[in-house]
Chains A and B, each alone.
Chain A
Amino acid sequence: MGNILVFAETQKGRVPKSSLIAIQAGKDAASKLGGDVLVAVLGSDTAVAAREAAGYGAAKVLAVNDAALENYLADAYAATLEQLVQTNEVTLVVAAATAVGKDLLPRLAARLGVGMASEVVSFHDDGTLQRPMYAGNTMATVTLADTIKVVSVRSTAFDAAQPGEQSAVEQASVSLDADVTKMQFVEFNETKSDRPNLTEASIVVSGGRGLKSGENFTTYLEPLVNELNAAMGASRAAVDAGFVPNDLQVGQTGKVVAPELYIAVGISGAIQHLAGMKDSKVIVAVNKDPDAPIFNVADYGLVADLFKAVPELTEAVKKAKE
């Protein structure tokens, strides 16, 4: 077994929690398959992020600084990682299955001419991997045939790496052609929110079509979200109707979450929605239809009109905290 290269993202110069989860997945793989964990940090100025990434007990952090890497762009980042793979005896590449990881890793795999497994939830010591398929209706055990394996990991399946021994930071030299990217970054419109990040929060409150409007999200759901210091999520139907921004969608084709507590309000529980939340520790459903499929996965189901129940719940939470 060669080395394990974990790709760490940077957000505003810092390493996000999803990348700490990827580091932990890399360590898990190392404990089963052997090899050293190397962490790659790419950017135009990675000094802070590389030092941060070095705090989690990896064998080494490989920092690459290049003006062409200022903003994440798939082609330049894939070309850079390919060189790191080839110069560091890497046989396994791991990154979190975030928007960046999903965009980047298949491109890297194809450059290397190797197969890839997406959204892996566990590594086994016989080299096989587990990943969900069919909206979580099945769990597949898969094998990657190539010597170099590329794997994205589902962030709900691993813990974040704990601070550990300080790793050395090495300035890796890669040579990027002037035309390494054919893409231009134009802008990033951040969804402003003071709430915890949807994929990182320990409590998520999601609303569905049952809320009927964006105003009702504000009037009914937000007070509960705020009282619980939770993240807000939504079903696809609520997002499609324009009640809330796109990146709040939980599900097969949105975000996968597994908080301590997930509260589904006015959500029927379609299989595509369940695929994104059914691994939550405790699931609460509020729905007026006693036959709604969401009740099949809920630990606690409240059959009620949400417009009456949610304000009561908010009050009760407030009282419980006192």
Chain B
Amino acid sequence: MKVLVTVKRVPDPETTIRVKSDGSGIETDNIKYVINPFDEIALEEALRIKEKLGSGEVVLVSIGDSVVTEQLRTGLAMGADRAILVGCDQDLDSLAVARILAKIVEDESPQLVLMGKQAIDDDANQAGQMLAALLGWPQATFASEVVLSDDQQAVQVTREVDGGLETIGFALPGIITSDLRLNEPRYASLPGIMKARKKEIKEVAAADLGADMSPRLTINSLEPPTQKEAGKKVETVEELIGLLHDEAKVI
């Protein structure tokens, strides 16, 4: 079974993000970049599927400029078989991302596409659902468990939804986006890192794919959120209850 896993390069969740004083973007100096944590989880799931079946191929795809090679190498070191880098130095919104990915899917014909539920930089939470619509494929977002049928033709996916867990099923091909509790991603091993150096990263130019990349969503400006004044430290529970009752009037 062939599984395509999408990988986005994002700022490390541990980094503090600051808006540039002119609001045109964020300060990118000293930012460390990583694979979007949800994409790492998606990749881990793909690797587990392959290991369980004892056969198959895990292909990574990332859209961006040449620096995303770094994240693709990390994914290859975790165990993916090969990677595709779709070169593009323009900012893309989710629809453009999905349109480019649709071209890659047509080309690669995977049975399953595993993605992250959201990119933690812009928190759009859109690309997977959009790709599913463009391909006319079924989708299971926010996955916390993926069970492949014995004949490998269908999946049942448990999803983290409001108020509980929902299970849906569909025949493949389809799209699954990962939630936090799907699995715990492995670290790349030293032999994995060595092997990754020899694995293929195929480069294609986004412009050559014929996907419509015209921006539909433009970001006009960014502002830091309003800062709250520092609150009061209290010594005792009594004092706290007094303030909640008399000052904040919430109890």
Interface residues of A (CB under 8 A from B): 11, 73-75, 78, 98-100, 102-111, 113-119, 128, 132-146, 181-191, 197, 199, 203, 228, 236, 239-240, 245-247, 249, 252-253, 260-261, 271-272, 278, 281-284, 290, 295-304, 309, 312-313, 316-317, 320
CA distance A118 to B129 in the complex (A): 13
B130 touches A107 (CB 8 A): yes
Minimum C-beta distance from B234 to chain A (A): 5
Closest to B122 in A: A133
Q: Which residues of A contact B159 (CB under 8 A)?
A: 99
B191 at the interface (CB under 8 A from A): no
B190 at the interface (CB under 8 A from A): no
A247 touches B163 (CB 8 A): yes
Q: Which residues of B contact A296 (CB under 8 A)?
A: 230
A99 touches B221 (CB 8 A): no
From A98, A103, A203, A271, name the one whose CB has the most chain B CB atoms within 10 angstroms.
Answer: A103
B129 touches A106 (CB 8 A): yes
List 5 A-B pairs, minimum CB-CB distance, nearest first.
A115-B216, A106-B129, A110-B133, A110-B130, A106-B126
Q: Which residues of B contact A203 (CB under 8 A)?
A: 250
Pull 5 A–B residue pairs with CB atoms less than 8 Å apart, ordered by A: A110-B95, A134-B123, A139-B222, A183-B138, A261-B250
B164 touches A189 (CB 8 A): yes
* Tier of interface size on chain B: 35 or more
User: Chain A's interface: helix, strand, loop or mixed, by majority?
Assistant: mixed
B124 touches A118 (CB 8 A): yes
A302 touches B234 (CB 8 A): yes
B133 touches A111 (CB 8 A): yes
CA distance A113 to B124 in the complex (A): 17
From A98, A138, A260, A317, name the one whose CB has the most chain B CB atoms within 10 angstroms.
Answer: A138
- Which one, B54-62, B74-82, B235-243, is touching chain A? B235-243
Minimum C-beta distance from A184 to chain B (A): 5
Q: Which residues of A contact B93 (CB under 8 A)?
A: 115
B189 at the interface (CB under 8 A from A): no
CA distance A261 to B243 in the complex (A): 13
Q: Which residues of A contact B192 (CB under 8 A)?
A: none
CA distance A109 to B123 in the complex (A): 17
Closest to B212 in A: A113
- Which one, B104-112, B166-174, B202-210, is touching chain A? B166-174
- Which one, B42-50, B64-72, B139-147, B193-201, is touching chain A? B139-147
Interface residues of B (CB under 8 A from A): 11, 13, 16-19, 26, 38, 93-95, 98, 117-118, 120-134, 137-142, 144, 156, 159-171, 174, 179-181, 214-225, 228, 230-238, 240-241, 243-245, 248, 250-251
B121 touches A236 (CB 8 A): no
User: Chain B's interface: helix, strand, loop or mixed, by majority?
Assistant: mixed
- Looking at the complex, which one of A191, A240, A301 makes contact with B180 (CB distance below 8 Å)? A240
Q: Which residues of B contact A99 (CB under 8 A)?
A: 142, 159-162
Closest to B161 in A: A99
19 A-B pairs besides A98-B162, A135-B17, A145-B214 with CB distance below 8 A are A74-B139, A75-B138, A102-B141, A105-B129, A107-B130, A114-B216, A134-B26, A137-B225, A141-B219, A142-B219, A188-B164, A199-B162, A240-B181, A245-B164, A271-B16, A296-B230, A301-B234, A302-B235, A317-B251
B231 touches A298 (CB 8 A): yes
B222 touches A184 (CB 8 A): no
B216 touches A144 (CB 8 A): yes
A110 touches B165 (CB 8 A): no
CA distance A240 to B126 in the complex (A): 25
A312 touches B217 (CB 8 A): no
- Looking at the complex, which one of B16, B180, B228 makes contact with A253 (CB distance below 8 Å)? B180
Q: Which residues of A contact B17 (CB under 8 A)?
A: 134-135, 137-138
- Looking at the complex, which one of B134, B164, B228 makes contact with A110 (CB distance below 8 Å)? B134
Closest to A116 in B: B126
Minimum C-beta distance from B100 to chain A (A): 13
Minimum C-beta distance from B243 to chain A (A): 6
CA distance A78 to B132 in the complex (A): 11
Closest to A296 in B: B230
From B98, B142, B217, name the one whose CB has the most chain A CB atoms within 10 angstroms.
Answer: B217
A283 touches B231 (CB 8 A): yes
A103 touches B141 (CB 8 A): yes
- Looking at the complex, which one of B38, B130, B167, B221 makes contact with A187 (CB distance below 8 Å)? B167
Q: Which residues of A contact B243 (CB under 8 A)?
A: 300
- Looking at the complex, which one of B164, B218, B241 makes contact with A143 (CB distance below 8 Å)? B218
Q: Which residues of A contact B156 (CB under 8 A)?
A: 186
A140 touches B230 (CB 8 A): no
CA distance A300 to B117 in the complex (A): 35
Q: Which residues of B contact A104 (CB under 8 A)?
A: 129
Q: Which residues of B contact A11 (CB under 8 A)?
A: 163
B244 touches A118 (CB 8 A): no
Q: Which residues of B contact A253 (CB under 8 A)?
A: 38, 117-118, 120, 179-180
